[in-house]
Amino acid sequence: MIVPVILSGGSGTRLWPLSRRNHPKQLLSLTGKNSLLRNTAERGSMLDEATAPVVVCNSKYRFMVAEELRAAGIKPEAIFLEPEGRNSAPAIAAAAFYISRKYPEALMLVMPSDHVIHDLKKFNSAVAAGIKPAHNDDLVLFGVIPTTPETGYGYIHTAGEFQTGTPQQVQEFVEKPDLETAKSYLESGKYLWNAGIFLFSPDIYLEKLKQLEPEIHSFCQAATEKAHIDLDFIRLDEEHFTKCPAKSIDYAVIEKINNLSVVPLDGGWSDIGSWDSLMKEKETDADGNVISGDVLARNVENSFLHSSGRLLGVVGVDDVIVVETSDAVLVAGREHGQEVAGLVADLKKQERAEVDHHQKVYRPWGSYETVDSGERFQVKKIIVKPGGVLSLQMHHHRAEHWVVVKGTAKVLVGDKEILLQEDESTYIPIGIKHRLENPGRINLELMEVQTGSYLGEDDIQRFEDVYGRSGNQG
């Protein structure tokens, strides 16, 4: 038995402005119609003898993660919520404690949620090849057979020349090399890209973790033992989990032990770690460009051009990345794509909202999008899914005007409940409890005009919420 473990805690800063901290790249449809997370979950479900997945994600993403799994028709074994990210070693430990108790004979296949693997048959064969060494107490890695001298990946040096699907002993790990070193790795036939995918017994992992990182082991054990159920999620105990040292599985365990095997993988893999790597996953036009959205280009070659909404015109440049969203535009040379993470760090220092979320923000009941704002007013488009219910809430500093554009709204204002149809409206005074619900079978769309002295999202007092949120929680 294999339990897929999907790690979905990253923020994908190098793919800003499409990827944001509250809506990261694994939840985006970057390489097709489905999100990277959904593709990962489906990949795990296709394995022989696989159970439903265990997902570990940031609490902020919980409803989006659950919706992606629902859309894939996958009911997860468990969704663990991290109160804050502490890197992969603690996240994997939380899943390992759970799996060890429930499926003591199982192996766990750890997969990041933001990878692309095109050849699922080869991936399944590689996983099958790793089962025997994993049952023999090895921690099994999957190393991608390199096709180019990449400088953005860590490498695994194998003990001998490798063959696809045949486990090898690991000789050493090497950090991201310079170009000349990467070329020598490629020519030697003894180096693999470290894909960050693992197969092992949860008990063996926990045993090694206890030896090498006893603090991570003890705090994660306490965090899982004191975890509590919250709707369809398992919340790790915040007091203990946040005390875990933030370390990757590589630094905490993998690079410190000897019982390691690596299975060479040749399956069309990418970690979609930058705009350039995403560009390589897309079809190019006759000029070598990847173009999506409303874009006009003249005398442009070898460039990534994306518009999320507005017309984007690009003239007379080559080898550039231009990405337009409703609230930000990125322009970068392709060779500087890795530096986007530094730009996001600068935005974070300036406490810019564009780091965290798009103008369209997703909620468990639907979404809202800021259309316009100014001094003492803000206009939003609100979409509520069929059956969606906003919390019973009140605002201290703003009043709201709602106009129904499409569908039917069930509105509670104070102690009065009304039904609003298209072109009908209502007014919510400051300090009055209210709730919005979609009782229909199609999306409810309405325009909300806020007026008042303070229009921040944290001006909300919740009294009841069907999604278990409290305070100004998203």
* Token representation of residue 333: 């040379």
**Residue 91: inside a domain:** yes
Q: Is residue 106 part of a domain?
A: yes
Task: Give the C-alpha separation, 248 to 144, whole Å.
Answer: 19
pLDDT, tens only, 21-80: 888 999 999 998 999 999 999 999 999 889 999 999 998 889 999 999 999 999 999 999
Are residues 221 and 265 located together in one domain of the fold?
A: yes
> Would you say residue 474 has pLDDT above 60?
no
Instruction: Let me know how many helices (H) and strands (E) the chain has, helices first.
Output: 11, 30
Check whether residue 147 and residue 294 sit in a common domain. Answer: no
Same domain for 106 and 238, yes or no, is: yes
Contact of 411 with 418, CB cutoff 8 Å: yes
Place of tokens 């129904």: 404
Domain assignment of residue 472, yes or no: no
pLDDT of residue 360: 86
Q: What are phi and psi of 235, to 5 degrees?
A: -90, 120
Residues above pLDDT 90, as percent of the chain: 85
Which CATH number do you get for residue 454?
2.60.120.10
Position 8 scores a pLDDT of: 94
pLDDT of residue 357: 85
Q: How confident is the model at residue 471 (pLDDT cuts 50, 70, 90)?
A: low
Same domain, 265 and 281: no
Where residue 71 sits, what CATH number does that domain have?
Answer: 3.90.550.10
Q: What is the pLDDT of residue 362?
A: 87
* Statement to judge: residues 411 and 318 lie in one domain: no
**Looking at the structure, do residues 244 and 99 belong to the same domain, yes or no?**
yes
- pLDDT tier, 163 (very low <50, low <70, confident <90, very high otherwise): confident
What's the average model confidence in pLDDT over 355-362? 88
Q: Are residues 266 and 299 in the same domain?
A: no
Q: Is residue 63 part of a domain?
A: yes
Q: How far is CA 465 from CA 15, 434, 472, in A?
A: 33, 12, 11
Give the residue from 315, 346, 377 where a domain finishes.
Answer: 346
Is residue 243 scored above 60 in pLDDT?
yes
Per-residue confidence (pLDDT) for residue 166, from 0 to 100 = 86
State which of 223, 254, 270 marks the end of a domain.
270
Q: Are residues 452 and 385 in the same domain?
A: yes
Tell me which residue range forms the domain holding 219. Answer: 2-270
Looking at residue 191, what is its pLDDT? 93
pLDDT category, 473, cuts 50, 70, 90?
low
Q: Could you tell me if 193 and 292 lie in one domain?
A: no
pTM: 0.88
In a domain, 353, yes or no: no
The answer to whether position 117 is within a domain reads yes
Question: Number of folded domains in the chain?
Answer: 3
Sheet with 377-384, edge to edge strand ranges: 360-363, 366-374, 377-384, 444-452, 398-406, 425-428
Indicate the pLDDT class of residue 161, thresholds 50, 70 and 90.
Answer: confident
Q: In this predicted structure, what is the pLDDT of residue 156?
A: 94
Q: Residue 214's pLDDT is what? A: 97
Residues 50 and 25 in one domain: yes
In a domain, 355, yes or no: no
Per the model's pLDDT, the better-predicted residue between 384 and 267 turns out to be: 384
299-305: long-range contacts, CB 8 A cutoff, minimum separation 24: 302/334, 303/334, 304/275, 304/276, 304/278, 304/279, 304/334
Give the pLDDT confidence of 419-432 residue by residue, as tens digits. Answer: 999 999 999 999 99
pLDDT at residue 294 is higher than 80: yes
Any idea which of 112-126, 157-171, 421-435 has the lowest mean pLDDT?
A: 157-171
* 99 plus 132 within the same structural domain: yes
Q: Which has the minimum average pLDDT: 87-101, 305-319, 456-470?
A: 456-470
Average pLDDT, the chain: 94
In the listed set 270, 300, 316, which residue is the last one of a domain according to the structure? 270
pLDDT for residue 389 is more than 60: yes
Q: Are residues 266 and 288 in the same domain?
A: no
